[in-house]
Structure 1
Amino acid sequence: MIPIQVNNSFAEEHYENVKDLILHHINRVLNKGSVKYKKNTFIVSANLRLFLTNLRNLSNNSLRDLITKSPSDLVNYVSHQNAFHSTFIDINHSDNIVLRNIFIINGYENKKAIDKWEFISKINFDTCPYCNRNYIYTTSKNKKTKPEIDHFYPKSKYPILGLSYFNLIPSCKPCNGFGAKEENDPFVKRLTNPYLLNYNDFELGHKIKNIAIINPLSGKSDVEVYFKKSIPGHLEVFNLKELYELHYDHAIELIIKRNLKYSKKYREYLSSYKGLQFSKSELDRMILGNYSLEKEQHKRPLSKMYQDIGKELGLI
């Protein structure tokens, strides 16, 4: 719903952190020729052996390309996997299980491969990019309070992308959990990676059902919040339409501010306040009760809705 800014230097640093561990397990699997999983032995096929042999050849940068693959290249790569490497993405096929052993079981889930707390904190994103409804603050390494990391292309079907930097999305538990993103395949659902989103891909608006009885304390939904613009798959997978309809009370408060000429009066008051100087965006933030710049949407829940409806009402 809101974009994450691409940082290629973080991706390169991530590659350097995971490279040796991945190579170790690729070599282990190639040397042994098989892996054990749930008391069964799965043989490395000739096709997968060729693929893994190419990956461990660092001179051709195949492994670096896999781990640092850009968000747009991930789209093309997944399309290629679906077209030409169906055994790699078949969760019941030995190729998929061998890849899962390397990149997930001994890779992503190995604490030596990725420090999830550090990974999330570096991205410096304060709300869930899928919904912009929940904070995803990190606290400290020793505490359990941290956001989820979602594999945008799910690790069960695409284990080969289990450690690819731009496939790892910080998110809130409701969006990553049961009944939402979970194991839904973006290739099938037509989802867009947050790194590829634009600020105008989603737009929220409001409809007044009964202007005569709007009361912010009534608990009655006299105002409807709806999506004027969206990527349909996201509304379905993340239940955004239904969830944002529940936030009508925020829209009502913004309408009342508009009706009371709150914006103009408060702006004049803040501008004349002695000892303090506010920029235009800071004045807009005080009036909205939320961040007013697109680039700051990630800093507070519902900021996207506040900005869109605030503009619709002429508050900012």
Structure 2
Amino acid sequence: MLFIENYQDAKDYHNGLLKCWFNSKLYTETERRNNQFQCTIRNCPSCVKDRKYYSKTLHEDIRRLIKQNIDCILTGEVGQLVEFYETNSSLLNENSLEIENFFVNSAYKNFFQTNCAEEFLNLLNKNTCIYCNRNYTLAIVKGRTRAEIDHWLPKTHFPIFAVSFYNLIPSCHSCNHLKGAGEDAEWWVKNHKEIANPYSDKGTFDFNYTFSKSKNEFEITFENVSNPKIRRMIKENRLREIYSAHREFELRDLHELRLKYPDNYLKDLLAKTFSTSISEEEKYRLIFGIDKNEENFHKRPLSKFKNDIIKKLLSL
């Protein structure tokens, strides 16, 4: 898993436009004038398209709960979201269908995903899937999002967090559907502290592998897992299974560089193929098609995996 850093611009954009949207849905026109709310988002789609549509269907207790806790709902970290859910679970569960319609259908699908997700993902600026780093998430057609958005706390169990900033993870289609959803909301309440969140729980691990000569087979392994949350993340996001699917391609190619060529071939390839004027980062891009620096792993698929395997091969 990669980690999401330098996200303040995306967070400011998300918070500004959704506060505007919620303001238009939760308050009457008279109340909005009294609040003197000022939208700060240029060409805000809520101002342009949705401001006149005051939602009359919300139960008054739910409306009051959202008004009083809008900052937590929009920008609270995962621990704060779970605490909010536990405190208000009875009311939320009693009105689950109403909340799902308001947050999942109206706020997320009809407003955010349709009007804002493309710009939100552009501001996060991640070229590959946060979970697997094997698939590009680039925009192809104007108006289509460059990635899917996974809900770290599944919106199936927590519809009220469908547009919560720290709950929105840019991912590829495969990871969005492979990632475990847990058994129910209580499973996440119990286990959320044990699983790394890409925004807040940065940690390290190294890819490695074993090779059975008799079977001519590889097995993906993980080493130096410094944070138990990362270990749980590897399990819940099926990273072993995902990367096992690549072992007969990228892994075998790198492994055979070590088996079929002289011991120093890989080192010579990096040291002597190009003139000394070219940087090591540029060599990795040209030879292996990956980025070497951790902060740039997101730019090209499999950068983390290949870097770790190459490091292992160079040490043999």
Matches within 5 A, 1:1-316: 1-27=1-27, 34-35=57-58, 43-45=59-61, 48-55=62-69, 63-69=70-76, 74-87=77-90, 90=93, 93-94=94-95, 96-111=96-111, 114-143=115-144, 146-177=146-177, 179-181=178-180, 186-187=188-189, 188=191, 190-198=194-202, 200=204, 202-210=205-213, 221-229=216-224, 231-249=230-248, 250-259=250-259, 260=261, 261-272=264-275, 277-314=277-314
Gaps of 5+ in 2: 32-53
Report deviation, 1:89.
Answer: 5.0
Q: Which amino acid aligns with 1:291?
A: D
Report deviation, 1:207.
Answer: 1.0
Q: Which amino acid aligns with 1:246?
A: A
* Secondary structure of 1:196's aligned partner: coil
Structure with greater helix share of residues: 2
Take 1:84 and 1:148, find their aligned partners in 2: how far apart are those partners? 30
Q: Which amino acid aligns with 1:115?
A: C
For the Cα contact (< 8 Å) 2:25–2:55, is it kept in 1?
no
**Once superposed, what is the RMSD of the aligned Cα atoms?**
3.1
For the Cα contact (< 8 Å) 1:137–1:147, is it kept in 2?
yes
For the Cα contact (< 8 Å) 1:150–1:171, is it kept in 2?
yes
Report deviation, 1:205.
Answer: 0.4
For the Cα contact (< 8 Å) 1:2–1:199, is it kept in 2?
no
Take 1:196 and 1:112, find their aligned partners in 2: how far apart are those partners? 23
Take 1:153 and 1:53, find their aligned partners in 2: how far apart are those partners? 21
Gaps of 5+ in 1: 36-42, 56-62, 214-219
TM-score, structure 2 normalization: 0.75
* Secondary structure of 1:4's aligned partner: coil
For the Cα contact (< 8 Å) 1:12–1:68, is it kept in 2?
no
Q: Which amino acid aligns with 2:218?
A: V
Q: Which amino acid aligns with 2:246?
A: H
TM-score, structure 1 normalization: 0.75
* Secondary structure of 1:110's aligned partner: helix
* Secondary structure of 2:111's aligned partner: coil
For the Cα contact (< 8 Å) 2:291–2:303, is it kept in 1?
yes
Percent identity at matched positions? 27
For the Cα contact (< 8 Å) 2:13–2:120, is it kept in 1?
no
Name the count of aligned residue pairs: 278
